[in-house]
């Protein structure tokens, strides 16, 4: 496999909390501009995997590389975000006391230092970028409302919008469809497919209909390591996957 | 040079006399009355009134010769200028000025002997020479005291004073001494006196060995005194002995630091252990925790006051009553705070901090209004008074009891949390409130009782701390920061961490104190904790995992 | 430059407060000095000094609001920065006494003569110059804050843990300044000041001048705080307060932001302390007491945190009440203060200003909803919500 095409590379990553192995020798690759769905039962290590990639949790052992050369284990959350890895949390986390517009403004790709932000002034380019994002996530009408006043689904969208505003190379998205109506879920799938044309995306999801709508390669996690990998049809016929997860 | 030496030795002499007298008075006051009057001794005492200074000196020496320790109070009074004789019959009395008259006491029985007008009695005059003679005589007398402890004190006083004149009485006393411990002290005293005398070098070398074997601070300062004398043989022997003494002392100093550290650690443990429940287990910041300790201390005061008025003969049992009382008082106040304030601030720790700080102000002022702003006297029961000696280590019983008590409270709490159904509920509620509620645990009740438990334990700590600290409305304030430091340092949510944290900080503090001084030691410990928390934000025993910072 | 930031933040109440401060900086000294004592509008000197003291407290409260209200850092150690600024000013004032001290030593302050010191310790050098002392009043708290914050924020000590160690910090300093060999006058602190910049510190004109300086400093502090909070940096601070790890995943170095606002806040507190000392005439280690820091927190809470104007109102109100109580009903003051802590946290979490804002917004919405009854959006309050969620 051509290494240049690999954006994210995990090899033999293990994490344990007080003896409990959250990740156990986990290895997989994400290619550039690839979208991947990750499924697995509760406690399979999905969120811990995201924590490890984004620098929130340090792995006990294993190799974690981004874009070929960057060793992710040596950096903290802010630096990793700076390399171009964006993350959406399972529970939508937006800045509730600030307007939708300000939420996007804070996420926009720009210098991140305190003095840069102290002397920051918004310009036309920034305003039009925010307008575009607002249109993408369908929140133009609510731009001046507090993010805390949005519905659950709208918050999910706003968080995805913030992710886009960062313009990362890799998006890690944890349960984007949770709490959404069917129509919203379908629209979210469309949005993610659109995003994946120019970005690498990792989606963690429980909703099988949603995963099917994404139509991408699926990785099944179980007890902290990869159980199966392939198309959704392929993995859902895998004996072991059925035993531990789909459970029929 | 000569005058300076003399002045020092006379100052030491005065100290020796003071110690001897203190012991003598205590020892004889009880026994003298019981014994029948000794006519011969009385005659000797009365003879003090007759003649000039030389005659008086002869009489003093005669009394010392006779060696009856009951003569000590009279001699003491003589030195102080309180010994008078009655003009009418030349009888001698110990007097105290009472208005324009004198209150008389019998010199032997020390019983009241009425009063006498200013003209009826006359003071027996003494001069400095006589005072010195009296001092020596008293030393001799107490070396024969019936109580071994008094004899040891007398010997130690001579040791400190290096009283050359005492060599002969000491040798005489040694010959008659049967108690080996007392004999050892006497030999040391004799050696000290020999070193100050002009006896030949071999005697002194032997004396150095005897003094060095004693191995304490006094021995060291005594040896230092001769280590720069003209005699090289003595000089070297003294230096070698000092080195030996210092080694021994180093070990004792370490032992002492550890003991003081354990003692301080147990105080910290007592103060912090309730906090380990409310803050450590429940995650509630109770800034009024110190005031719970204070309430416990005041409960002790109230209970003791009741005992003093109602049943003074059972005073020793007052603490046993105070313990449950303090637990109830502080526990109920704690439950009231939890029900009235804290439950409304659930998951808002910073607000809880502020509200409970307000409660602490109110509690302080309430106590100040009721009991006044000054310190209240809380007594030690008899089993907590006094001290025991292990080598050079003095262990006071109140400190010892507090160490034991702290460990007992800790163990009881540990058992309550690990082995009872209540403890199980507490752990369940703190780990997953919603799940516990849905399993039928009454979480509000558990919250209230847990907080009451933590507060009640703080109250119990107050009973213990009232034994060693001033009981004032500010009592709690002096413990609150230390308590939080202990819990945070030890690791939140872990009782063992609190134990280890308390003793580590206590011992560290006491080892730093001799080097840096008490205040700087405390500052250094605080700075250390501040830095430590940076390194391990969750303390020594931290819980790990995803749930922790969720 | 500054004006540009201000356009967004300096509105409504803040503008009124700023105008009020500037006006009082001129009017109060005028009413004190120009009018005869018999005149009904005459402001007596003791009142000028008292209000000047309140204004320095208000500046301290404003500094606290910047870190607590906007960045979620509840400092129980701001008294340390305040007292450090105060000591810097006190050292200048001590040097101004010159040979007028009790012992008449031209260089050494009385307490050093009393301790048999032969010469001035090196860290007292330069304090005969006002400009140097003022510089230290800002820089010393800044250095302490920077060093402390650098360790604390980098290792992500947050919430109550941070509050507790800030308290330990000021407590350690309290103990240190009590020591005689620290060279800051020990227990008694620094006092018996004679003059400041050549003016008699007791005179009416100096007192009025100090009041005006306090009012102007507070106004400048308010403008600075508005500029910071209205900038993008201010929005990042609120983001840190409400969802710290989210902010980090957006690529912001949260610790740098905290360090910035923490240090700025410490400098404001230091300036407040420097203005406080000449007006009360003494600085002693008691100013480091942790209780002082916590009392300052309640001023912020009463006025309304995260509002900038609120803390100023809160500081003045609470201290006015304190002056009244300690004169009229001294034994009830702690009951009142304690009750205030409980009441505000339970019933007035957004403070006076927050309450007023909610009320006016509700009123405005009621008016608006008369023609359009369907418009019933969510909450309109801007007070911090869900702070504990982090």
Reported as a pLDDT band with limits 50, 70 and 90, residue B246 is confident
List of domains in chain A: 3-100+168-246 (3.40.50.300)
What sign results for the dihedral spanned by CA atoms B142, B147, B149, B151?
positive
Whether residue A57 and residue B544 make contact (CB cut-off 8 A), yes or no, is no
Picking from A16, A17, A42, A43 by the largest number of B CB atoms within 10 A of its own CB, the best residue to mutate is A17
Picking from C388, C389, C390 by the largest number of B CB atoms within 10 A of its own CB, the best residue to mutate is C388
What's the gap between Cα B464 and its chain centre? 15
Q: Inform me whether the pLDDT recorded for B28 exceeds 60.
A: no
Q: Inform me whether the pLDDT recorded for B232 exceeds 80.
A: no
Whether residue B523 and residue C176 make contact (CB cut-off 8 A), yes or no, is yes
CA–CA distance, A108 with A111 (Å, rounded to integer) = 9
CB atoms within 10 A of CB A151: 14
Q: Give pLDDT tens digits for B261-273.
A: 999 999 899 989 9
pLDDT score recorded for residue C44? 92
Residues of C in contact with B287 (CB under 8 A): 294
CA–CA distance, A6 with A1 (Å, rounded to integer) = 9
**Beta carbons of C273 and A78 less than 8 angstroms apart:** no
From B470's Cα to the closest Cα of chain A, the distance in A is 45
| Chain B: partners with 3+ C-beta pairs within 8 Å | A, C
Whether residue A48 and residue B546 make contact (CB cut-off 8 A), yes or no, is yes
Picking from A56, A76, A78 by the largest number of C CB atoms within 10 A of its own CB, the best residue to mutate is A78
Same-domain status, B342 and B489: yes
pTM (two decimals): 0.80
Q: C306 by DSSP, 3-state: which?
A: coil
| End-of-domain residue from the set B199, B220, B241 | B220
Reported as a pLDDT band with limits 50, 70 and 90, residue B23 is low
Q: Residue B425 domain-assigned?
A: yes
Q: How many domains does chain B have?
A: 2
Chain mean pLDDT for chain C: 89
Q: Give pLDDT tens digits for B343-377.
A: 999 888 889 999 999 999 999 999 999 999 889 88
Q: Give pLDDT tens digits for B418-476.
A: 889 988 888 888 778 888 888 888 888 999 999 999 999 999 999 999 988 889 999 98
Whether residue A113 and residue C377 make contact (CB cut-off 8 A), yes or no, is no
pLDDT score recorded for residue C220? 97
DSSP code per residue over A134-158: HHHTT-GGGTTSBGGGS-HHHHHHH
For A223: left if phi > 0, alpha if psi spans -120 to 50, otherwise beta; the answer is left
Closest chain B CA to residue C178: B519
Which of A180-184, B322-326, B337-341 shows the lowest per-residue confidence on average (mean pLDDT)? A180-184
- Across the A/C interface, how many CB contacts are shorter than 8 Å? 93
Same-domain status, B456 and B309: yes
Q: How far is CA B548 from CA B132, B154, B431, B501, C229, in A?
A: 76, 65, 10, 21, 31
What are the boundaries of each domain within chain C? 2-293
Whether C161 and chain B come into contact, CB under 8 Å, resolves to yes
Reported as a pLDDT band with limits 50, 70 and 90, residue A105 is very high
The tens place of each residue's pLDDT in chain C, 390 residues long, gives 445 555 567 778 899 999 999 999 999 999 999 989 888 899 999 999 999 999 999 999 999 999 999 999 999 999 999 999 999 999 999 999 988 988 888 889 999 998 889 899 999 999 999 999 999 999 999 999 999 999 889 888 888 889 988 998 999 999 999 998 889 999 999 999 999 999 999 999 999 999 999 999 999 999 999 999 999 999 999 999 999 989 999 999 999 999 999 999 999 999 999 999 999 999 999 999 999 999 999 999 999 999 999 999 999 999 999 999 999 998 899 999 999 999 999 999 999 998 998 888 888 888 776 554 444 433 333 344 333 333
Share of chain B above pLDDT 90, in %: 23
Q: Residue B232 domain-assigned?
A: no
Whether B550 and chain A come into contact, CB under 8 Å, resolves to no
Reported as a pLDDT band with limits 50, 70 and 90, residue B116 is confident
The residues near B143 (Cβ < 8 Å, ≥ 6 apart) are: B151, B154, B155, B169, B170, B173, B186
CA–CA distance, B459 with C253 (Å, rounded to integer) = 45
For B37, the token pair is: 């009057």
Whether residue B534 and residue C154 make contact (CB cut-off 8 A), yes or no, is yes
Q: Residue B431 domain-assigned?
A: yes
CA–CA distance, A32 with C356 (Å, rounded to integer) = 54
Q: Which residue segment(s) compose the domain that B14 sits in?
A: 2-94+122-220
- Nearest CA among B125, B133, B129, B85 for reference residue B107: B85
Residues of A in contact with B543 (CB under 8 A): 18
Residues of B in contact with A58 (CB under 8 A): none
- Phi, then psi, of A9 in degrees rounded to 5: -135, 115
CA–CA distance, B88 with B93 (Å, rounded to integer) = 13
| Minimal Cβ distance to A118: which of C233, C243, C385 | C233
pLDDT score recorded for residue B453? 93
| End-of-domain residue from the set B220, B235, B256 | B220
Q: Give CB contacts under 8 A, 24+ apart, made by A132-137.
A: A133/A104, A133/A161, A133/A164, A133/A165, A134/A100, A134/A101, A134/A104, A134/A161, A136/A161, A136/A164, A136/A191, A137/A161, A137/A164, A137/A191
């Amino acid at each position: 496999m051509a290494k240049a095409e690999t954006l994210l590379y995990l090899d033999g990553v293990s994490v344990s909390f007080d003896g409990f192995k959250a990740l156990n020798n986990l290895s997989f690759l994400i290619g550039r501009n690839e979208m991947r769905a990750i499924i697995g039962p509760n406690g399979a290590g999905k969120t811990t995997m995201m924590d490890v990639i984004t620098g929130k949790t340090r792995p006990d052992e294993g190799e974690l590389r981004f874009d070929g050369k960057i060793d992710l284990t040596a950096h903290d959350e802010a630096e990793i975000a700076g390399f171009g890895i964006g993350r959406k949390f399972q529970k939508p986390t937006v800045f509730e006391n600030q307007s939708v517009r300000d939420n996007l403004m804070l996420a926009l790709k720009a210098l991140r230092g305190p003095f840069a932000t102290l002397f920051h002034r918004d310009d036309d380019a920034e305003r039009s970028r925010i307008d575009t994002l607002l249109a993408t996530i369908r929140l133009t009408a609510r731009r001046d409302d507090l993010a805390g006043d949005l519905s659950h689904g709208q918050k999910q969208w706003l968080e995805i919008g913030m992710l886009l505003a960062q313009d990362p190379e890799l998006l890690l998205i944890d349960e984007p469809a949770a709490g959404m109506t069917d129509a919203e879920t379908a629209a979210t799938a469309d949005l993610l497919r659109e995003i994946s044309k120019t970005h690498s995306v990792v989606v963690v999801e429980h909703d099988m209909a949603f995963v099917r709508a994404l139509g991408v390669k699926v990785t099944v996690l179980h007890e902290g390591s990869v159980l199966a990998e392939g198309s959704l049809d392929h993995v859902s016929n895998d004996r072991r996957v059925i035993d531990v997860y789909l459970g029929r | 040079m000569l005058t300076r030496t003399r002045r020092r030795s006379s100052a030491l002499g005065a100290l020796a006399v003071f110690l001897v007298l203190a012991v003598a008075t205590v020892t004889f006051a009880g026994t003298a009355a019981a014994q029948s009057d000794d006519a011969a001794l009385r005659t000797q005492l009365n003879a003090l009134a007759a003649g000039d200074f030389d005659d008086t000196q002869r009489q003093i020496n005669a009394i010392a010769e006779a060696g009856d320790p009951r003569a000590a109070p009279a001699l003491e009074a003589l030195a102080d200028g309180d010994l008078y004789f009655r003009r009418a019959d030349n009888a001698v009395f110990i007097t105290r000025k009472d208005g324009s008259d004198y209150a008389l006491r019998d010199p032997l029985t020390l019983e009241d002997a009425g009063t006498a007008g200013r003209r009826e009695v006359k003071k027996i005059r003494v001069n400095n020479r006589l005072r010195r003679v009296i001092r020596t005589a008293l030393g001799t007398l107490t070396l024969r005291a019936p109580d071994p402890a008094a004899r040891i004190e007398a010997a130690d006083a001579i040791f400190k004073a290096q009283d050359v004149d005492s060599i002969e009485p000491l040798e005489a006393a040694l010959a008659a001494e049967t108690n080996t411990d007392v004999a050892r002290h006497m030999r040391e005293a004799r050696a000290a006196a020999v070193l100050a005398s002009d006896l030949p070098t071999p005697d002194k070398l032997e004396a150095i060995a005897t003094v060095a074997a004693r191995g304490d601070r006094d021995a060291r300062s005594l040896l230092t005194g001769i280590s720069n004398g003209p005699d090289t043989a003595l000089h070297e022997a003294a230096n070698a002995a000092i080195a030996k003494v210092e080694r021994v002392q180093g070990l004792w100093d370490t032992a002492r630091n550890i003991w003081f550290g354990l003692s301080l650690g147990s105080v910290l443990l007592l103060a912090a252990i309730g906090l380990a429940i409310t803050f450590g287990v429940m995650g509630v910041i109770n800034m009024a925790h110190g005031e719970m300790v204070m309430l416990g201390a005041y409960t002790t005061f109230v209970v003791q006051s009741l005992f003093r008025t109602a049943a003074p003969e059972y005073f020793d049992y007052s603490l046993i009553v105070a313990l449950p009382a303090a637990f109830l008082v502080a526990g109920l106040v704690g439950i009231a705070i939890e029900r009235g304030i804290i439950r409304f601030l659930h998951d808002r720790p910073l607000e809880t901090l502020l509200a409970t700080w307000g409660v602490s102000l109110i509690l302080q002022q309430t106590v100040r209004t009721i009991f006044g702003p000054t310190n209240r006297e809380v007594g030690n029961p008899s089993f907590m008074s006094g001290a025991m000696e292990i080598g050079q280590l003095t262990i006071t019983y109140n400190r010892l009891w507090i160490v034991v008590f702290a460990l007992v409270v800790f163990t009881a709490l540990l058992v309550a949390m690990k082995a009872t159904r209540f403890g199980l509920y507490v752990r369940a509620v703190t780990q997953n409130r919603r799940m516990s509620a849905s399993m039928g645990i009454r979480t509000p009740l558990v919250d209230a009782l847990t907080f009451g438990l933590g507060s009640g334990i703080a109250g119990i700590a107050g009973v213990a701390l009232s034994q060693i600290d001033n009981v004032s409305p500010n009592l709690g304030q002096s413990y609150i920061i230390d308590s939080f430091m202990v819990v945070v340092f030890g690791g939140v949510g872990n009782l063992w961490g609190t134990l280890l944290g308390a003793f580590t900080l206590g011992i560290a503090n006491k080892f730093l104190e001799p080097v840096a001084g008490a205040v700087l030691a405390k500052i250094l410990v605080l700075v250390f904790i501040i830095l430590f928390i940076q390194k391990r934000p969750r303390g020594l025993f931290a819980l790990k995992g995803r749930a922790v910072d969720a | 430059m500054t004006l540009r930031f201000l356009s967004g933040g300096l509105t409504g109440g803040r503008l009124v407060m700023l105008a009020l401060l500037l006006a009082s900086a001129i009017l109060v000294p005028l009413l004190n000095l120009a009018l005869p004592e018999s005149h009904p509008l005459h402001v007596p000197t003791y009142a000028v000094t008292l209000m000047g003291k309140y204004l320095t407290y208000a500046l301290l409260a404003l500094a606290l609001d910047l870190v607590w209200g906007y960045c979620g850092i509840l400092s129980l150690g701001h008294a340390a920065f305040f007292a450090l600024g105060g000591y810097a000013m006190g050292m200048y004032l001590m040097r101004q006494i010159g040979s007028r001290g009790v012992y008449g030593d031209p260089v050494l302050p009385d307490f050093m003569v009393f301790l048999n010191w032969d010469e001035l310790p090196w860290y007292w050098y330069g304090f005969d110059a006002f400009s140097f002392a003022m510089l230290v009043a800002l820089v010393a708290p800044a250095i302490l804050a920077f060093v402390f914050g650098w360790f604390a924020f980098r290792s992500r000590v947050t919430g109550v843990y941070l509050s507790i160690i800030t308290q330990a910090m000021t407590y350690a300093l309290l103990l240190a300044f009590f020591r005689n060999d620290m060279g800051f006058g020990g227990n008694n602190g620094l006092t018996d000041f004679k003059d400041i910049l050549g003016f008699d510190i007791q005179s009416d004109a100096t007192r009025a001048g100090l009041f005006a300086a306090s009012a102007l400093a507070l106004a400048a502090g308010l403008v600075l705080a508005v500029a910071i909070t209205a900038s993008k940096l201010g929005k990042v601070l609120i983001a840190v307060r409400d969802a710290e790890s989210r902010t980090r995943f957006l690529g912001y170095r949260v610790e740098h932001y905290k360090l910035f606002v923490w240090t700025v806040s410490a400098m404001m507190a230091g300036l407040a302390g420097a203005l406080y000392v000449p007006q009360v005439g003494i600085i002693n280690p008691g100013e480091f007491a942790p209780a002082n820091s916590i009392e300052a927190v309640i001023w912020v809470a009463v006025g309304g945190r995260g509002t900038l104007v609120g803390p100023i109102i809160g500081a003045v109100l609470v201290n006015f009440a304190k002056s009244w109580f300690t004169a009229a009903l001294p034994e009830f003051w702690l009951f009142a203060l304690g009750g205030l802590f409980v009441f505000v946290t339970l019933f007035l979490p957004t403070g006076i200003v927050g309450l007023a804002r909610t009320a006016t917004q509700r009123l405005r919405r009621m008016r608006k909803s008369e023609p359009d009854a369907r418009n019933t959006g969510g909450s309109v309050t801007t007070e911090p919500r869900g702070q504990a969620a982090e």
